[in-house]
Amino acid sequence: MPLEHTHGGNLNKAARKYGLPVKDITDFSANINPLGPSRKALSAISKNLDLISAYPDPDCTELKSELAKYLGIKEERLLMGNGAAELVYLLVRVLRCRRALIPVPTFCEYALAVLCQGGEVLELPMPEENGFRLPVDEIIASLPDADLLFLCNPNNPTGRLTGRKTILTILEKACLHGVMVLIDEAFMDFVPRRELFSVIKMAGQQPNLAVLYSMTKFFGIPGLRLGAIAGPGELLSRMSAARDPWNVNVLAQVAGVAGLMDYQHMRDTCRIVNCEKKFLFGQLASLPGVQPLPAAANFILADVAGSGFTSFELTELLGRQGVLVRECSDFNGLAGRFLRLAVKTRPENEKLLLALKAIVQGENK
């Protein structure tokens, strides 16, 4: 497995590649809130710029308090990070992970974090023919040989949501074998009735459970980097002692607090994402050779194998028109056939659909 970080959202690289100004590129490759940050968050940043002359609160006291209220857990069950990815690497380092189980395809940083620390990764395929479902029996059978299990729910890039009952079954079996389970709920805020699927309120009650939370996606602030992990107090204490000092900058803390208080922005986000996801899914399904998969988050994985183009070719042709999509060849089992498309606003979604339609119907051949 190559040690390489591959993600969407690299607008500057795309601008150089396609010879376009950044402002002329519509980015469907990064799964960020299509409304962007809350206006209250932006206002809070501008009003508190003078705070950059002092060190940030190393404990993120106010932010942690607000996030704990929002998630319905105790403050002492949370540790803040410079994005969720930082916390993945920190967890692996603190646990001294020797062997991790990772159902694939999924977010690449789990495996990279383990490999960078000299650990071994056992990948458990989630076959396309089974709808990319979690291979529960295979996971349980492999637990005796592992010390850490990664589960992404909803999964990135498939958008597949695993039921709470299934998660709890795996968690119980993992506990019997002393295996820590990290549930990545980075996209859970986009899930309707999230409380029926999230297990974050259990963090701290279950000794082998840690839950990852991201504020960059739903709150639209990826450039500020802001994430959290919930888990047992002993684990969080070890992670806190091992983390870099002042790892969360002051403007990220300010924006996070303000965003958590903007309930209208959250409601608008859920309404628009759910509406536009239905629209985008239906329109994609009507295109020749394009097969979108049902998704629980704010993105759609589309199989383009029947279009007459590979995913590489479509990515290139769309990029020339200022439409940046996530080509999925670096996800296990998705090479050459799949694109991941973020759900955006109606004008942006229509731009994508117009460009894609022209290509698959032969107008750009």
At 365 the pLDDT is: 47
Q: How confident is the model at residue 5 (pLDDT cuts 50, 70, 90)?
A: low
Beta strands 99-104 and 148-152 are parallel
The pLDDT tens digits of the residues spanning 137-158 come to 999 999 999 999 999 999 999 9
* Mean predicted lDDT score pLDDT of the chain: 94
- Pairwise CA distance, residues 168 & 174, whole Å: 10
Task: Indicate the domain borders of the chain.
Answer: 11-30+264-360, 39-261
φ, ψ (nearest 5 deg) of residue 161:
-105, 130
Q: How confident is the model at residue 276 (pLDDT cuts 50, 70, 90)?
A: very high
Q: Is the pLDDT of residue 2 over 70?
A: no
The pLDDT tens digits of the residues spanning 177-189 come to 999 999 999 999 9
The pLDDT tens digits of the residues spanning 216-260 come to 999 999 999 999 999 999 999 999 999 999 999 999 999 999 999
Average pLDDT value for residue range 259-279: 97
The 3-state secondary structure of 298-321 reads: CEEEEECHHHCCCHHHHHHHHHHC
Task: Provide the CATH number for the domain formed by 39-261 in this structure.
Answer: 3.40.640.10
224 Cβ contact partners less than 8 Å away, ≥ 6 residues apart: 216, 249, 251, 252, 255, 256
Instruction: Name the percent of the chain lying above pLDDT 70.
Output: 97
Sequence-ordered strand ranges (E) for the chain: 26-27, 78-81, 99-104, 120-125, 148-152, 180-184, 209-214, 227-230, 291-292, 299-303, 323-324, 326-327, 338-342
* Residue 216 DSSP SS3: coil
Q: Is the pLDDT of residue 364 over 60?
A: no
At 336 the pLDDT is: 86
CATH topology of domain 11-30+264-360: Aspartate Aminotransferase, domain 1 (3.90.1150)
Q: What is the DSSP string of 61-82?
A: HHHHHHHHHHHTS-GGGEEEES
At 66 the pLDDT is: 98
The pLDDT tens digits of the residues spanning 15-50 come to 888 888 888 899 999 999 999 999 999 999 999 999
The pLDDT tens digits of the residues spanning 327-336 come to 999 898 888 8
| CA distance readout (Å), 142 to 138, 166, 224 | 6, 16, 38
Q: How confident is the model at residue 8 (pLDDT cuts 50, 70, 90)?
A: low
Geometric angle at alpha carbon 25, from 22 and 29, rounded to 5°: 110
Cross-strand pairs, 78: 230
Q: How confident is the model at residue 135 (pLDDT cuts 50, 70, 90)?
A: very high
CA dihedral sign of residues 12, 18, 21, 23: negative
